[in-house]
Amino acid sequence: MRARDLAEPHPFVTTDDDAIDAARMLAEQSPSALLVLDTDNQPYAVVPGSQLIRQLIPAYIAEDPAPAGVGGDQHDGELAERLAGLTVAEWAPRRLYPPPVVGPDAWPMEVAALMARTPSPLVAVIERDRNGVTLLGTITAARLLQHFLQAAA
């Protein structure tokens, strides 16, 4: 079994998409992470949902959550407003969330090792040819565990 055999479709957004639309997709479809492609359809970032939330809240709250309880829920609507006018690239900068990628012939253990070294819950499987890059799908931690458990049976 190779990465191409384990890859599954995964919802994605592009760097130019509106951040609010990306947040809506994440909220409605509940993927394990936001997969972001650049304008050439190459993986740009893979961002766990918790890190997207971190980008929304003020830094002082992320560092010390005690002040968060002072205002109750009166500021909750402001968090979504912080996305207004932002693109996905501005909300989830690549330098913070570089995408883990493998080629179609990677072995499952190679995918597992890459996943273990990154904070990403998924790995993008891409194929490169003279026409560019094609996203074949992603391998989630759950899919990888499923494969290893089936191999043991």
Task: Give the mean pLDDT of the chain.
Answer: 88
The DSSP-derived string for 108-140 is HHHHHHHHHHSS-SEEEEEEEETTEEEEEEEEE
DSSP symbol at 100: P
For the segment 47-64, what is each residue's pLDDT rounded down to a tens digit? Answer: 888 888 887 777 777 787
Q: How many alpha carbons lie under 13 Å from residue 152 in its C-beta half-sphere?
A: 6
Q: What is the pTM of this model?
A: 0.85
pLDDT tens for residues 109-146? 999 999 999 988 999 999 999 988 999 999 999 999 99
Tokens 């997709």 map to which residue? 25
Classify 68 as helix, strand or coil. Answer: helix
What pLDDT band is residue 30 in, cutting at 50, 70 and 90?
Answer: confident
Tell me, what's the pLDDT at 56?
78
Is residue 38 a contact partner of residue 15, using CB atoms and an 8 Å limit? Answer: yes
The predicted-structure confidence for 60-93, as pLDDT tens digits, reads as follows: 777 877 766 666 565 666 777 888 889 999 988 8
Helices (H), the chain: 3-6, 19-29, 49-56, 59-63, 76-81, 88-91, 108-117, 141-152
Torsion sign over Cα 141, 48, 26, 127: negative
**Higher pLDDT among residues 93 and 46, named by residue:** 46
